[in-house]
């Protein structure tokens, strides 16, 4: 057992590692949500339709989705230090290219590189958490991680809208790219993938427990085992529906809806998506800890799915307006979706510890596949009934157009509720070790 001084040093090292990785994750959230605030600027700069703008914003999600299983493999084999460090560097280059793009093609390449870079950061961070923190607190740490990550998305709403009053959207993305480059350097310098690499015993050894056995198989066999594990897959569909639809709306279409339909300025409209993201962050933090306390995963996830369906339905049919009713509905979308954080804990509890990164990556793939589908689908659905209205070179949509997209979002969330019915309860324990 470590002495108090050694444990204090251990705490200092692990929280330094956590801070670097979670700030990198905050930048991933910023890149994810920022297009919603600059949607009109992008339409004007690149002369795009709603569907094309959705495809540009979703370029991030396309590559992010494709990279989730490889990200899990990289996190489990190379470790978070290498995977997350290289990812931050690539994301930084992509953001700078996006900010300097002269045409739609160059912007798409920049957005793709951003998605490629940040795709490995979250899984690396969650994998790092599995070895630097106690299993008994994984739900709480996961909630804290999502809460802090969402602060990055909150910065990409109201604060970004205010910043755009002083700087161009191009300057903001170039600056964000430089920050990501610095974080990449810090990751290689300070982060260690395991306590043993920093001269400490494992967390389990500190708690007087035997270490988990390392996998002696090639990573390919571990990956195929995770992909064939039917008890991990429900989390994929839950995130596809609940979180994918939320991110598509908050990250692109939530601000234009308030601007086009209700005549709000960009700054005023961004306050509503800020309410969504604050609700999302708070719910992710509290639901993770709540799940740990009650010792259950499924009721939290199923309840969140039902609340999410109710929120989308209310946005569709209730006679809401800007003001308290609009804020309440936008916030409800975020609050109800926060239960998705528990899917990560459930996934790792149905997989061997050596494959935790791959299991988390599989569940996370659903989230980004959902957003990748929903962002252009929402725009395409609106284009179907668009009446040709334009303002300053950008399309203007009516509420009837937005209802098409909201209906698709509701459909995706119903799919998530159906998926949650197949989730098997873990009682917050790794079922492969019982």
| Whether residue 235 has pLDDT greater than 70 | yes
Q: Which of 27-41, 81-95, 188-202, 309-323 has the lowest mean pLDDT?
A: 27-41
Mean pLDDT of 116-121: 88
H-helix or E-strand containing 105?
A: helix 104-118
The verdict on residue 297 lying in a domain is yes
Q: What is the pLDDT confidence band of residue 333, given thresholds at 50, 70 and 90?
A: very high
Q: How many other C-beta atoms are found inside a 10 Å radius of the C-beta of residue 251? A: 31
Q: What is the pLDDT confidence band of residue 209, given thresholds at 50, 70 and 90?
A: low
At 6 the pLDDT is 75
Total count of domains within the chain: 1
Mean pLDDT of 373-377: 87
Classify each residue of 390-422 as buried b or exposed e, where b means 16 or more C-beta atoms within 10 Å of its C-beta.
eeeebbbbeeebbbbbbebbbebbbbbbebbee
The verdict on residue 334 lying in a domain is yes
Mean pLDDT of 213-235: 79
Q: Which of 60-74, 166-180, 196-210 has the lowest mean pLDDT?
A: 196-210
Mean pLDDT of 319-323: 93
The verdict on residue 213 lying in a domain is no
The verdict on residue 267 lying in a domain is yes
- DSSP-assigned letter for residue 135: G
Sign of CA dihedral 281, 285, 286, 288: positive
The verdict on residue 252 lying in a domain is yes
Q: Which of 120, 369, 342 is nearest to 235 (CA)?
A: 342
Looking at the DSSP bridge assignments, the partners of residue 395 are: 390
| Whether residue 363 has pLDDT greater than 80 | yes
The verdict on residue 205 lying in a domain is no
At 212 the pLDDT is 56
CATH number of the CATH domain containing 95: 1.20.1250.20
At 90 the pLDDT is 94
At 186 the pLDDT is 96
Q: How far apart are CA 378 and CA 211, in angstroms?
A: 48
At 245 the pLDDT is 93
| Whether residue 354 has pLDDT greater than 60 | yes
Q: How far apart are CA 275 and CA 158, in angstroms?
A: 9
The verdict on residue 207 lying in a domain is no
Q: State pTM to two decimals.
A: 0.72
- Asked if residue 326 lies in contact with residue 310, where contact means CB atoms within 8 angstroms, the answer is no
- DSSP-assigned letter for residue 164: T
| Whether residue 2 has pLDDT greater than 70 | no
CA distances from 399 to 32, 271, 272 (A): 25, 19, 16
Q: Report the percentage of the chain scoring pLDDT > 90.
A: 34
- Asked if residue 378 lies in contact with residue 248, where contact means CB atoms within 8 angstroms, the answer is yes
- Asked if residue 263 lies in contact with residue 351, where contact means CB atoms within 8 angstroms, the answer is no
Mean pLDDT of 117-124: 86
At 215 the pLDDT is 56
At 434 the pLDDT is 63
At 47 the pLDDT is 75
Radius of gyration of the chain (CA): 21
- Asked if residue 195 lies in contact with residue 14, where contact means CB atoms within 8 angstroms, the answer is yes
Mean pLDDT of 173-184: 94
Q: What is the mean pLDDT of the chain?
A: 85
Mean pLDDT of 378-388: 90
Q: Which of 255, 122, 209, 249 is nearest to 430 (CA)?
A: 209
Model confidence pLDDT, tens digit, residues 46-91: 777 767 777 777 777 788 778 877 887 888 788 889 999 999 999 9
Per the model's pLDDT, the better-predicted residue between 261 and 1 turns out to be 261
| Whether residue 392 has pLDDT greater than 70 | yes
- Domain range holding 397? 4-199+219-428
- Asked if residue 289 lies in contact with residue 420, where contact means CB atoms within 8 angstroms, the answer is no
Per the model's pLDDT, the better-predicted residue between 395 and 343 turns out to be 343
Task: Output the six-digit token pair for 35.
Answer: 């297009």
């Amino acid at each position: 057992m470590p002495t108090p001084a050694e444990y204090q040093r251990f705490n200092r090292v692990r929280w330094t590692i956590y801070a670097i990785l979670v700030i990198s994750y905050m930048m991933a959230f910023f890149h994810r949500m920022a297009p919603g605030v600059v949607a009109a600027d992008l339409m004007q700069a690149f002369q795009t339709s709603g569907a094309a703008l959705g495809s540009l914003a979703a370029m991030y999600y396309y590559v992010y989705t494709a990279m989730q299983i490889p990200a899990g493999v990289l996190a489990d084999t190379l470790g978070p230090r290498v995977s997350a460090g290289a990812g931050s560097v690539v994301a930084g280059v992509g953001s700078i290219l996006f900010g300097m793009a002269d045409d739609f093609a160059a912007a798409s390449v920049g957005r793709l590189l951003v998605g490629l870079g940040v795709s490995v950061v979250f899984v690396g961070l969650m994998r790092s958490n599995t070895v630097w923190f106690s299993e008994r607190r994984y739900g709480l740490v996961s909630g804290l991680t999502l809460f802090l990550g969402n602060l990055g998305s909150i910065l990409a709403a109201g604060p970004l809208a205010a910043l755009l009053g002083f700087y161009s959207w191009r300057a903001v993305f170039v600056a964000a790219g430089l920050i990501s480059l610095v974080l990449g350097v810090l990751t290689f310098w300070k982060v260690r993938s395991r306590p043993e690499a920093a001269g400490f015993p494992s967390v389990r050894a500190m708690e007087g427990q035997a270490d988990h056995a390392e996998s002696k198989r090639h990573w390919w066999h571990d990956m195929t085992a995770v992909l064939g594990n039917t008890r991990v897959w429900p989390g994929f569909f839950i995130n596809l529906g609940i979180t994918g639809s939320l991110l598509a709306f908050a990250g692109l279409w939530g601000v234009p809806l308030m601007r086009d339909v209700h005549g709000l300025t960009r700054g005023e409209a961004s306050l509503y998506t800020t309410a969504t993201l604050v609700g999302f962050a708070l719910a992710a933090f509290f639901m993770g800890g709540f799940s740990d306390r009650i010792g259950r995963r499924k009721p939290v996830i199923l309840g969140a799915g039902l609340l999410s369906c109710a929120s989308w339905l209310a946005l569709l049919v209730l006679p809401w307006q800007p003001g308290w009713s609009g804020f309440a509905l936008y916030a409800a979308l975020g609050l109800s979706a926060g239960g998705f954080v528990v899917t990560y804990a459930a996934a790792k509890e149905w997989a061997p510890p050596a494959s935790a990164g791959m299991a988390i990556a599989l569940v996370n793939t659903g989230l980004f596949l959902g957003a990748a589908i929903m962002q252009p689908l929402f725009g395409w659905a609106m284009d179907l009934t668009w009446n040709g209205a334009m303002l300053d070179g950008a399309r203007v949509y009516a509420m009837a157009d937005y209802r098409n997209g909201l209906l698709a979002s509701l459909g995706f969330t119903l799919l998530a509720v159906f998926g949650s019915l197949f989730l098997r309860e873990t009682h917050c324990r790794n079922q492969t070790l019982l």
